[in-house]
Structure 1
Amino acid sequence: MTTLRLGTRRSALATTQSGLVADRLRAAGHTVELVEIVTEGDTNRAPLASMGGTGVFASALREALHEGRVDLAVHSLKDLPTAPEEGLVVAAVPPREDPRDALVARDGLTLGELPAGSRVGTGSPRRRSQLAALGLGLELVEIRGNVGTRLARVGEDLDAVVLALSGLARLGLTEQVSEAIDPLQVLPAPGQGALAVECREQDTRVRDALAPLDHPDTRAAVTAERAVLAALEAGCSAPVGALAEVVEDVDGPVLSLRAAVVAPDGGDELRRSLTGPLTEADALGDRLAQILLEDGADEIVAAASQTPTPSTTTSPERAL
């Protein structure tokens, strides 16, 4: 059988995630070669919003697919733009890791235990806005870099960092987690914890190889979440959180979808939820987005797109 060339970013997390997909394919009898691709997001330390958003991680991998240098590529789904890429298809969405955010803090402190004025690092406008809305008096610091670089700053110039729990789990670093943050406090990014395996739309050989890796419940959940983001016309610079979960209803399993749009300073906050059939995931996300828009989400998203991302201190009185 012809070798499947799997395109991956070169970071430890990306190669670990790609390795998980490669292992699944090898277990099914395929030969897989990992091909490292360098993206602008890997080499430029500027805030993601200033580089055009999450697409900076996907564009180089997609270019390699279009040019035939690789046969498939593995993305963190939250890094994949919601707009479809002509000629490419997400052929598989494997089972999702824990989608929650994680706090890694000095002395194992939780969010509620961090003193007012504690410096908490994150590169995510979504995390900053929702943490600000908690009114804990934290100083929220813009950071970039790989997982190891961020963790190394805890106890040095930062009191804590917030990262995706899924990434820490895949890297075997969950012992460093002080707290898995409840989505009632901070909703994760749409697609967080899930992987997207992309290939050329017309490449039936690769699509057939990837089909067994697809997990229908995970695909339905992330489809609903990303539909919210798409309908809001929001991207990396928008503080939007969404989480869909498959739950049991009286008539069987349904999707329970929650979403939040929060102003950068945490002052304006919209949180809404809906449930619906798994087979209507895209429509469910669109309906929830329309509810958010009717309640003023467009104004929050527009304001956020004009807001710079310096260190921000939130008032401890906001929770009172």
Structure 2
Amino acid sequence: MRYLVGARGSQLSLAQTNWVISELKKNNPQAEFEIVPIKTKGDTDARPLFTINQKGIFEKEIDRAVAEKKVDFAVHSLKDVPAELSEELVLACIPKREPANDIFISKDGKTLNEIKKGAVIGTSSLRRAVQISRQRPDLIVKPIRGNIETRIKKIDDGKFDGIVLAQAGIQRLGLDVKFEKLPVEIFVPSPGQGALAIVARKDNIELINILKKIEDQTSRTAVEAERSLSMFVDSGCRFPVGALANQNGGKLDP
């Protein structure tokens, strides 16, 4: 069987999608997968994310391709997926989650608390901007766009003194970079951060059963709780919310 997989064309998205494919092939060695890169509004609109008044700016076009049967399923960073999908689609699988926390990277290896007053810190997230300013009101926080490698290069080029981003992205790309792990108690991550989402059509039962074989139930339970909060408060890029749930002895700790 041959499957078409929709994904963004960024290095991180392709790395995530190739990882999903490698996991699926462990149970289905005869299956063939072809990645179909699809541009989204988030890829073509260079404005700061919190100024774009639209949900799902990194997934809408890809999920439309799934719904229209142009691709069989899509792989997303879960934090980019709106709490509510279109009626034809289902969140078919959530594989094992990577660390959900944010990290801080600076040119000289200084921590967020050590970096000099007035330093320019870049982030693509309004949530992170608020959290940075609460911790260090003496810093200058500016929007930064581009893939992870581009953002790191902007530190080396002297455009920023440091950046804050998700640890999961660094790990999935296998980048060898020194960073400070930020505490989730202060830098509460975006709902679903660190997890992947595999979206398929509801009526494609055979494919859903294949995807379920790489599901991690603990990860799903946690992110579904986080997404429930996001749905309740109607959060998004312009009204960000942090949430992290952990399973503890059969109970879910917020």
Q: Same fold (TM over 0.5)?
A: yes
Instruction: Note closer, same or farther for the CA distance 1:14–1:86 as it changes in structure 2 (3 Å cut).
Output: same
Q: Render the CA deviation track for 1:1-21: whole Å, top value 9, x for unaligned.
A: x20111111000000000111
| Structure 2 letter corresponding to 1:50 | T
8 Å Cα contact 1:48/1:54 also seen in 2: no
> How do 1:94-113 residues align onto structure 2 when only pairs under 5 Å count?
94-113=95-114
Structure 1: distance between partners of 2:240 and 2:96:
25
* TM-score, with structure 1 as normaliser: 0.76
Q: Match of 1:4, SS? A: strand
Structure 2: distance between partners of 1:70 and 1:84:
16
Give the length in aligned residue pairs. Answer: 251
Q: CA deviation at 1:189?
A: 0.5
Tell me whether 1:254 sits opposite 2:251 in the alignment.
Answer: yes
> How do 1:198-277 residues align onto structure 2 when only pairs under 5 Å count?
198-248=199-249, 253-257=250-254
Structure 1: distance between partners of 2:137 and 2:49:
26
Q: Render the CA deviation track for 1:117-137: whole Å, top value 9, x for unaligned.
A: 111000100001111111351
| Structure 2 letter corresponding to 1:254 | K
Structure possessing the higher radius of gyration over alpha carbons? 1
Structure 1 moving runs of 4+ over 3 Å: none
Q: Render the CA deviation track for 1:230-281: whole Å, top value 9, x for unaligned.
A: 1111111113111111123xxxx21111xxxxxxxxxxxxxxxxxxxxxxxx
Normalized per residue, the structure richer in helix is 1
Instruction: Note closer, same or farther for the CA distance 1:239–1:116 as it changes in structure 2 (3 Å cut).
Output: farther
Alignment-derived partner of residue 7 in structure 2: 8
8 Å Cα contact 2:50/2:125 also seen in 1: no
Alignment-derived partner of residue 160 in structure 1: 162
Structure 1: distance between partners of 2:53 and 2:178:
30
Structure 2: distance between partners of 1:160 and 1:243:
24
> How do 1:20-39 residues align onto structure 2 when only pairs under 5 Å count?
20-29=19-28, 30-39=31-40
Question: Looking at both structures, which has the greater relative contact order when contacts are Cα pairs under 8 Å and sequence separation is at least 6?
Answer: 2
> How do 1:47-66 residues align onto structure 2 when only pairs under 5 Å count?
47-66=48-67
Q: Match of 1:141, SS? A: strand
Structure 1: distance between partners of 2:129 and 2:240:
8
* Worse overlay, 44-53 or 96-105: 44-53
Q: Match of 2:65, SS? A: helix
Structure 1: distance between partners of 2:162 and 2:73:
36
* TM-score, with structure 2 as normaliser: 0.95
- Structure 2 portions without partners, runs of 5+: none
8 Å Cα contact 1:25/1:32 also seen in 2: no
Identity %: 37
Q: Render the CA deviation track for 1:171-227: whole Å, top value 9, x for unaligned.
A: 011x31320101122111000000000000001121111111111110010011111
| Structure 1 letter corresponding to 2:179 | S
Alignment-derived partner of residue 94 in structure 2: 93
